[in-house]
């Protein structure tokens, strides 16, 4: 117990020290706007990569669709704040409250479908798709006329600084929720495919999202996003405090998920899907949950990034960009949260920061040659990744505790039964 407490205190103490140091450097002007953007970008890409590591590294589902969910979260969150600045709270009503209604209806549908054995995938997909349309329809037709005047009155009565933080929080949650709902609907029919085919399908999803974003002002009812011209007028509300809290939240949620009985089911599917099914694990649930959670992480990162750049363009989310989180995960080590966290920051700090500044004028693009060469050399010399399976003590504590409990025969039997529990 003392070791557990020590590792926890050490981890959170180190994170707090990092927060204070970076905040001081930003406040004193030691870190200019360029390095501020680099740090925020590093945190955002690390969050996306952590979500991909949950899907691919821990669950074994090869995915190239995280930038699609990253884009959904970015545009959804930006639309909420853009509308609010134009005295239109409909983004909050539809994005936040509408998503809450949809999730509540999902829970009812799930309870209803459990009454039937072996429901077909197409039936389940259509049920949830119609539920999604119904939920957002309720928000647009029923809640919007009732709640918009109330929201304007209540939020405008608060101090402007408080209102800004509340709206920004609701925007981030809306972006993450919409990305999660989209991944849930997408995952129901395609997760039954093999890992390679699933990767191709997710890449197709990213391309579809990119095409839709290019035409938001024509085929979609979002003229404020301005299609291929890019969305402007996004408030620059991302701060180091918000970045730090979101990053820490993602790490803690992912760590607790992986070290729960559900997390062990997720890991068992990666090791042997057929064996996991034979011991009673719901394989569909064990594959869908990490995919949705990882996509929620991507949507959250998109909201953070959008309100740092204050500008969004569909070209920033093309399918080539989808390989960036994958490279980070492979470079840091599949199944290593520590490797993904550190490599994500190093990737941005070195590739977009140090190399861009150190190379002579006209040679900035050579950094994209240096990085693949380093990655190729590393994969030849250390194919398990830079960090392999290494984790900070806090991140691996429950597994170490499980091994300790397994020292006695009785504890070993209890731990074994806990391992196979769905």
Predicted confidence (pLDDT) at residue 152 exceeds the cutoff of 70: yes
Helix or strand or coil: residue 36? helix
Query: At 351, which helix (H) or strand (E)?
Result: none
- 420 within some domain: no
The parent domain of residue 273 ranges over: 36-391
DSSP E strands, 77-200: none
Q: Minimal CA–CA distance to 311: which of 213, 242, 233, 226?
A: 233
Mean pLDDT computed over 229-257 = 95
CA 254/CA 27 separation, integer angstroms:
31
- 6 within some domain: no
Report the alpha-carbon angle 396-402-406, nearest 5.
145
Percent of the chain with pLDDT over 90: 53
How many domains, in total, are found in the chain?
A: 1
Predicted confidence (pLDDT) at residue 74 exceeds the cutoff of 50: yes
Alpha-carbon torsion 229, 232, 234, 240, what sign?
positive
CA separation (Å) from 208 to 71, 185, 258?
11, 15, 31
Predicted confidence (pLDDT) at residue 413 exceeds the cutoff of 80: no
CA 255/CA 134 separation, integer angstroms:
34
Contacts of 24 (CB under 8 A, 6+ apart): none
- 414 within some domain: no
- 2 within some domain: no
CA 225/CA 110 separation, integer angstroms:
34
CA separation (Å) from 35 to 3, 41, 46, 240, 314?
37, 10, 16, 12, 24
Helix or strand or coil: residue 350? helix
pLDDT tens digits for range 295-320 = 999 999 999 999 999 999 988 887 77
Question: What pLDDT, on the 0 to 100 scale, is given for residue 271?
Answer: 87
- 4 within some domain: no
| Contact (Cβ atoms closer than 8 angstroms) between residue 73 and residue 183 | no
CA 99/CA 96 separation, integer angstroms:
5
Residue 223: DSSP 8-state: G
Question: What pLDDT, on the 0 to 100 scale, is given for residue 398?
Answer: 53
Alpha-carbon torsion 57, 253, 155, 181, what sign?
positive
Mean pLDDT computed over 177-188 = 95
Predicted confidence (pLDDT) at residue 113 exceeds the cutoff of 50: yes
pLDDT tens digits for range 356-371 = 777 777 666 676 677 6
> Exposed, middle or buried: residue 310 (CB in 10 Å: 0-12, 13-18, 19+)?
middle
- 18 within some domain: no
Alpha-carbon torsion 219, 232, 208, 138, what sign?
negative
pLDDT tens digits for range 38-66 = 999 999 999 999 999 999 999 989 888 89
- 29 within some domain: no
Q: Give me the DSSP letters along 358-408.
A: HSPTT-GGGHHHHHHHHHHHHHHH-TT-SSTT---HHHHHHHHHHHHHTTS
Mean pLDDT of the chain: 87
| Contact (Cβ atoms closer than 8 angstroms) between residue 102 and residue 132 | yes
Which tokens belong to 121?
A: 């995938």
Mean pLDDT computed over 409-421 = 44
- 402 within some domain: no
Mean pLDDT computed over 217-229 = 85
> Exposed, middle or buried: residue 320 (CB in 10 Å: 0-12, 13-18, 19+)?
exposed
């Amino acid at each position: 117990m003392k070791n557990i407490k020590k590792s926890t205190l050490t981890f959170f103490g180190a994170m707090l020290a990092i927060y204070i140091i970076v905040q001081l450097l930003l406040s004193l002007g030691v870190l200019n706007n360029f390095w501020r953007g680099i740090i925020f970008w590093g945190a955002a890409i690390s969050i996306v990569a952590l979500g991909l590591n949950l899907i691919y590294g821990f669950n074994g589902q090869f995915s190239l669709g995280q930038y699609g969910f990253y884009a959904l979260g970015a545009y959804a969150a930006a639309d909420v704040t853009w509308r609010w600045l134009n005295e239109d709270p409909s983004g909050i009503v539809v994005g936040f409250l509408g998503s809450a209604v949809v999730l509540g209806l999902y829970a009812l549908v799930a309870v209803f479908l459990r009454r039937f054995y072996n429901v077909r995938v197409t039936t389940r997909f259509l049920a949830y798709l119609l539920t999604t349309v119904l939920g957002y329809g309720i928000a647009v037709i029923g809640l919007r006329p009732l709640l918009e005047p109330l929201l304007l009155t209540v939020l405008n009565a608060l101090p402007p600084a408080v209102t800004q933080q509340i709206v920004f929080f609701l925007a981030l949650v809306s972006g993450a929720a919409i990305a999660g709902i989209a991944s849930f609907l997408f995952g129901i029919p395609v997760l039954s495919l093999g890992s390679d085919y699933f990767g191709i399908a997710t890449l197709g999803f990213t391309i579809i999202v990119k095409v839709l974003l290019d035409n938001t002002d024509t085929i979609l009812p979002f003229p404020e996003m301005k299609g291929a011209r890019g969305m402007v007028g996004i408030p620059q509300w991302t701060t180091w405090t918000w970045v730090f809290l979101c990053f820490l939240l993602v790490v803690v949620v992912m760590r607790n998920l992986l070290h729960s009985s559900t997390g062990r089911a997720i890991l068992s599917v990666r090791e042997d899907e057929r064996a996991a099914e034979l011991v009673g694990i719901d394989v569909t649930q064990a594959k869908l949950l990490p995919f949705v959670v990882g996509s929620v992480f991507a949507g959250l990162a998109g909201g953070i990034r959008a309100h740092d750049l204050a500008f969004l363009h569909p070209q920033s989310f093309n399918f080539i960009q989808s390989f960036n989180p994958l490279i980070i995960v492979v470079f840091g080590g599949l199944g290593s949260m520590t490797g993904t966290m550190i490599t994500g920051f190093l990737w941005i700090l070195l590739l977009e920061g140090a190399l861009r500044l150190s190379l002579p004028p006209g040679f900035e693009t050579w950094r994209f040659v240096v990085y693949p060469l380093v990655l190729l050399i590393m994969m030849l010399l250390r194919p398990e990744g830079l960090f392999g399976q290494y984790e900070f003590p806090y991140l691996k504590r429950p597994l170490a505790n499980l091994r300790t409990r397994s020292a006695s025969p009785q504890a070993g039997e209890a731990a074994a039964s806990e391992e196979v529990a769905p």
